Structure formats: structure tokens, C-alpha cells
Amino acid sequence: MAAPREPEVIRDKAAMRAWSRRRRAEGKTVAVVPTMGYLHRGHLSLVSAAAASADPVAVVVTIYVNPSQFAPTEDLATYPSDFAGDLRKLASTGVVDAVFSPADLYDRGTGRRAAASGGAVSCLEEEAGDGHETWVRVERLEKGLCGASRPVFFRGVATIVSKLFNIIEPDVAVFGKKDYQQWRVICRMVRDLDFAIEVIGSEIVRETDGLAMSSRNVHLSREEREKALSISRSLVDARTAALNGNTDCEQIKNKIVQTMTENGGQVDYVEIVEQESLVPVEKMDGPVVICVAAWFGKVRLIDNIEIDTRS
């Protein structure tokens, strides 16, 4: 473990960009880890990946709860935060140079006019007038999986990540594969819009009992948490079955739904899709990923497992 080192806390866009340009002028690679805070070991593994991505490297962690990726019905107001705790954790890694934690990143306008929303409405747009109205959309990848029940989510993610990329101008950006669809959306966006950024997908970090780490886990009761273990258990069982020759996706999906439902989960979706395109498959004859989302109590959890039966 590296010695603790206090990261510089930056609140202002222009200061952030200037900081980043100075680091690059010093010959450093700038690596960014975008987060919404309330950090856990999953995030810290992203930080490690950023620190290992180049040498010399300057690591920036952003902490910003992005309103535009939440629908008005979602949990923006209750999204957990602990800035002081986050800073301590980041300092303890010894590899974080700066924390970018702005108050607000959107121009809210004067509120004189209603903004067009293209049918999708986020927490941001409730306040919008002649304010922010530019959206980045990855039109096919944003639609399935979480996009089906969260129509503004990936639009909000792609837009805030574009903003962060333009403010920080990083060379490297690290995203967790826990948010698998998000990672693929960002990869596609970077390719399609020619961002000069290498996107690194970092493996899921799990609790010792298998639960994928998430800031939302804190909202689970002890009982819900126990039942939520059915998510990772059913995914591991599915992979075992697939590697043993059961590659029929319908059967495998039904089994996962059944396991989670028996444990009190409300399944949002269970899908088996190609890893890069996220197109659903019927047979596992290439690199696929099983993606699931389910509610346990009032908490929506997602998880996934990559499987390649050919390897």
C-alpha cells in the first residue's frame, strides 16, 4: 500500500482544465475515474487501474452526482454521499493527485422557457429553461437492458462524461464493468465522436459473499442483502451450466429469473447479449455477457457476468 497522500480538491471547471494541462505539459498521462462518490472498494480498484495505466501518470477522480441521468421518479435525492469519507479513502490509496468535485456542471438558464426533452425527462430538465439543452446519445446501445426502464439514463451518462472529458481532457478514462452497458456506451461514444481517450473497463469487485459492490448496497436491510446474494449466485451457476454445455439462453435466463424471484427479487430484466454490441443472442456461441437488474426492497441492483464458451 502506498503512503497516504492528500489529493488536491478542485471545484471549478477552468481550474480543473488548467491543472490537467499543466500535468500534461509536465509529460504526464492524465487518467480520470468518473464517480458519483460514496466510494467503496470497487471504485478504489478503478483508481488502481488508472494509476497503473501509464507512467508518469496524474490521476483525477471526479465526484459528482449527475442529475441528468436520474428520472424525476428516481433516487437522486437519496443518493448517498460522504465527501469527507471519500477523500480519506482516496488519500489512503496514495495515488490520487486531484479530486474534481464541482457544485453544478449544467447551465440552468433563466427558466424563461420550457426546454424540449425529446420525450425523455430527467431531474435536470425539471429546472431547465433556456439552460442546458445539448444531449449526447448512443442511439442503439442506450436502448436495451437498463435503457428500457431508465430512458434518460444513458443520455445523461454520455452527456456528463462528454462534459467531464472536455473539462479534464484526459488521456485515459476508467469505467467499471459492473455498469456494463454504461462502459460499452462510453466506448462507442469515444469511438464515434473521436475523443482522444483510451477507455479502460475494470473488473467487478465483489464482497466476500459475492454481492457486487455498489453505493446503493448501503440501503439494503440485512435480510434484503442476504436475499440479494441470489443475483451473483444465479449468475455463477449460469456460467457453470454454460461451460458444461448448456448454452440455451432461454433456459438459462428462466433459471436466473426463478432463483431471484424465489428470493423475493423483483426482476427488471435478465438478458444474454453479445459483449460488444449488446445484441441479444439465443445461443452462447461467442463472447456474451449475462446482464441482470432486480429490485430487492426499494433498491435496484445490477450485476453481470462475462462468458465465452469457446475459450
Smallest gap, in angstroms, from Cβ of residue 10 to a second copy?
14
Specify the residue, 32 or 204, whose C-beta has the smaller distance to a second copy. Answer: 32
Cβ 199 to a second copy shortest distance, Å = 13
Residue 2: is it exposed, middle or buried by C-beta count within 10 angstroms (0-12/13-18/19+)? exposed
When the beta carbons of 287 and 297 are compared against a second copy, the nearer one is: 287
CA atoms of 155 and 135, how far apart (whole Å):
7
> Hey, is 72 helix, strand or coil?
coil
Whole-angstrom distance, CA of residue 233 vs CA of residue 283: 21
Q: Which of 40, 43, 132, 219 is catalytic?
A: 43
**CB 178: neighbour CB atoms within 10 A?**
21
Q: For a second copy, give the closer residue by CB, 4 or 118.
A: 118
Cα angle for residues 185, 131, 188 (degrees, 5° grid): 10
The verdict on whether 43 is a catalytic residue reads yes
The CA-based angle 124-198-168, given to 5 degrees, is 50
Nearer to a second copy, 159 or 263 (CB): 159
Q: How far is the CB of 179 from a second copy (least distance, A)?
A: 18
Binding site for a second copy (CB under 8 A): 13, 17, 105-107, 113, 115-118, 130, 132-141, 143, 158-159, 162-163, 166-167, 169, 188-189, 191-196, 277, 279
Phi first, then psi: give them for residue 214, nearest 5 degrees.
Answer: -155, 145
Q: How far is the CB of 279 from a second copy (least distance, A)?
A: 7
Give catalytic residues, as residue numbers.
Answer: 43
